[in-house]
Amino acid sequence: MPDRAINRHVQRIFSCVSGNRDKDDPAVEIPIVTSWERSLQHYGIDPSEPNPVRVLTEGELKGYTQPIERFLRIAKVAVHHLHRQVSDLGYSTLLCDANGVTVDWRGDERYIRQWKDTGLFLGAVWDEQREGTCGVGTAMIEQVALTVHKGEHFRAKNANLTCSCAPIVSPSGKTMGLIDVSAFHSPDSKESQHLALQLVIQSARMIESAYFLSQFEDQWVLRLSFERELAEVSSECLIAIGGDGKILAADRVACRSLAGETGGGGLAGRLIGEVFDIDFEKLLDIFSRSSMVLPIRTQKMGLRMFGSLRCPQAISVKPVAAVEAPAPRKRKVPAPGEALTLDYLAGEDHKLLESVERIKRVMNKPIPILLNGETGTGKEMFAQAIHNASRRADRPFVAVNCAAIPESLIESELFGYKEGAFTGARSKGMRGKILQSDGGTLFLDEIGDMPASLQPRLLRVLAEREVTPLGGETPIPVDLHVICATHRNILDMVASGDFREDLYYRLNGVSFELPSLRERSDIERLIDDVLTIEAGSGNEQAVIDDEAMRVLADFSWPGNIRQLRNALRYALAVCDKGIITCADLPVDVTGATDPAARAKPAIPRPAPAALPDRSCEADDEDDDNDGILAELNAMEQAERQVILDALHKHKWQVSRAVRDVGISRATMYRKMEKYAIVPPNKR
Ligand SMILES: Nc1ncnc2c1ncn2[C@@H]1O[C@H](COP(=O)(O)OP(=O)(O)OP(=O)(O)O)[C@@H](O)[C@H]1O
């Protein structure tokens, strides 16, 4: 550029930044002026300085490309595709990383010298701090797609270039890179670059979508479009959904389009049914029967969209619609010592049955399973049952409780060590739990307690399917299926930085919520089953009387099935003649049952007389039953009183009262109904 032109360029920038723009000079767009200000005042760059663009050596460049190999692989196709569209128009195509380093490049090889001289080449660093206003650097800082055309470049030496560039944003909203087309000959008018800018925007979007789909390849992805006609061929919004129906992530178009639904609170962590007029179960159900595009409305704003659902990759080999209907389940209570099966564990709880059907679909696929549930809900039992039902059943099932092993030992427990790896190491070394589970299932219980320092190592094992024991150098290949369990909210831990997001996505291929005991719709059935199992393991057969069953079914069970097992084990040991009554239940269960009942005065003991004597009926029950009493003959009145006395004596425990009276339970209930005897708790 001749000196006079350089001076004019520098003059123009100075007057514009100082607010004294020449009135003949066309207005400069705001982002460009702001960038000129930054370049001049912040970075202190001299616009006339002719220093060439910095180009990294091959070795230096490797340091930038290696950590983003996946991104490069995904973006490559889009870079190639874009370049095919623009190469004949004299553009080169640059893919830059988040630092502005050109990590992929395409250009007409005939002009290689010129590309290199202008810095439109592999390894060139296009950051604003160094180059001042330029396509890549300014799009990176402003986080928008833009064209920096000719004299809008800050440095005079770049003022013949035209650069159109768009940022590429990751699922978590960070700039992962930028895609740019640049040319050193172009018409003067900036409008001439409109199409080039639209093409880079489209390519950036294509890379973002491909990256999103790859990042969540083991998850369900809801693809949404505002136009029915386009929904099948291209989607505007992408939403990744975990196996529990909660949104894991949404791409930036989805976040922007659906911001009104969340009041700015973000989509991640919300249930699909909170945002749309359909819940996840229904969505799965519809898409399992048809792959059609489904009209969906958003809950708050009522936006009409058209969606399709992409299955986790490992399931998609078999369309969900083609999954056979589950065979009718045969449910039998396992004999003592017999492994609990998935069908048995599902019980008759509606939600659990659905979960088990879904588990069956994925258990033989390389999809990690995450089990959520309160302590004692049976997570380990489930993990074992999944293993037993899977193709890996004849291989080891290895359980590791991350909360139970001291942090200092977890590493060697999991990864093992070579002989002599450290003082005290066994002379032959140790195969860690991961290698022990080779070919089988590794169950990581309390995964939320996995120390932060080991999370990257575990991630590497899962990604690369190989382990390097402590003190070893050669990685050993391992084939394992991972099932994790936690009672903690891992998403919250991810948000607070206590759990690695990438590890969470690796582990949560599909997740299942095990209901607490108090939420189960089949609680009485389960209580009976657990009693059968407990009674079978050494104790006498027993039954639970109605009152005790009511107490057990109403209890809150903070320790879930584990606590229930213990309570029944105790009751079996103390009960008489195989009948478990309230008196046989541990006090922590009966004491917490019904605080209102406990506050009531004790039921008065009846007078010893066997004949009708209204004075003994201190509960005011019979006041309400005068009409019935009047209709009874003397015999009946006497019989009624005997029954009532026995019930009072045994604090309304039917099973005990029947023994005093010498009648069966069924007869007792019939008589109670006939004589209108209603236990206090049912009044
Ligand atoms: N459906 C069931 N029927 C009978 N017993 C069961 C059932 N589910 C679980 N159990 C028993 O309940 C106890 C707790 O189960 P488990 O250890 O699998 O729970 P967990 O959710 O893994 O607990 P934690 O979170 O405390 O590790 C075990 O003794 C197990 O045998």
pLDDT of residue 354: 81
Q: Which two tokens stand for residue 581?
A: 């009554």
Which of 1.10.8.60, 2.40.160.10, 1.10.357.10, 1.10.760.10 would CATH assign to domain 518-599?
Answer: 1.10.8.60
304: Cα separation from own chain's centroid: 26
pLDDT of residue 428: 66
Q: Which two tokens stand for residue 96?
A: 């830059």
User: Is the pLDDT assigned to residue 9 strictly greater than 90?
Assistant: yes
Report which protein residue has its CA nearest ligand 1's atom 26. 375
pLDDT of residue 350: 79
pLDDT of residue 651: 77
CA atoms within 13 A on the CB side of 349: 23
DSSP 52-86: PPPB--HHHHHHHHGGGHHHHHHHHHHHHHHHHHH
pLDDT of residue 433: 92
Query: Best substitution site from 562, 564, 568, 569 to test ligand 1's pocket, by max atoms within 8 Å of Cβ?
Result: 562
User: Is the pLDDT assigned to residue 311 strictly greater than 60?
Assistant: yes
Query: Best substitution site from 381, 514, 523 to test ligand 1's pocket, by max atoms within 8 Å of Cβ?
Result: 381
User: Is the pLDDT assigned to residue 517 strictly greater than 50?
Assistant: yes
pLDDT digits (tens, 9 = 90+) for 249-293: 999 889 888 988 887 778 988 999 999 998 888 888 777 656 667
| DSSP bridge partners of 510 | 369
Mean of pLDDT values over 281-310: 81
Distance 158 CA to ligand 1 centre (A): 69
Number of neighbours of residue 568 by Cβ within 10 angstroms? 28
Q: What's the complex ipTM?
A: 0.97
Q: Spell out the domain ranges in the chain.
A: 32-200, 216-322, 342-515, 518-599, 614-682
If one compares 34 and 339, the residue with the highest pLDDT of the two is 34
pLDDT digits (tens, 9 = 90+) for 196-245: 999 999 999 999 999 999 888 878 899 998 887 777 667 789 999 988 88
User: Is the pLDDT assigned to residue 612 strictly greater than 60?
Assistant: no
CA atoms within 13 A on the CB side of 150: 16
Tell me which residue has tokens 């006090």. 587
User: Is the pLDDT assigned to residue 177 strictly greater than 60?
Assistant: yes
**Over the chain, what is the mean pLDDT?**
83
Distance 412 CA to ligand 1 centre (A): 27
Distance 509 CA to ligand 1 centre (A): 23
Mean of pLDDT values over 296-310: 89
Residue type, position 136, single letter: V
Mean of pLDDT values over 145-160: 95
Distance CA 128, CA 430 (A): 53
User: Is the pLDDT assigned to residue 682 strictly greater than 70?
Assistant: no
The answer, as to whether pTM is greater than 0.80, is no
Residues in CB range of 447: below 8 A, 6 or more apart = 370, 402, 484, 485, 486, 490, 507
pLDDT digits (tens, 9 = 90+) for 350-363: 788 888 888 887 88
pLDDT of residue 616: 33
Q: Among the ranges 372-376, 619-623, 651-655, which has the highest mean pLDDT value?
A: 372-376
Distance CA 162, CA 171 (A): 30
CATH of domain 342-515: 3.40.50.300
pLDDT of residue 346: 86
CA atoms within 13 A on the CB side of 108: 13
Which of 3.40.50.720, 3.40.640.10, 3.30.450.40, 3.40.50.2300 would CATH assign to domain 32-200?
Answer: 3.30.450.40
CA atoms within 13 A on the CB side of 267: 31
| Residue/partner pairs of 337-346 with CB below 8 Å, 24 or more apart | 337/537, 339/384, 339/385, 339/388, 340/381, 340/384, 340/385, 341/385, 341/388, 341/389, 342/382, 342/385, 342/386, 342/389, 344/385, 344/529, 345/378, 345/381, 345/382, 345/385
pLDDT of residue 648: 82
Distance CA 345, CA 364 (A): 19
User: Is the pLDDT assigned to residue 332 strictly greater than 50?
Assistant: yes
pLDDT digits (tens, 9 = 90+) for 533-587: 887 765 557 889 888 999 999 899 999 999 999 999 888 888 887 889 999 998 8
Atom of ligand 1 nearest to the CA of 371: 21
* Band of residue 608 on the pLDDT scale cut at 50, 70, 90: very low
Report which protein residue has its CA nearest ligand 1's atom 13. 562
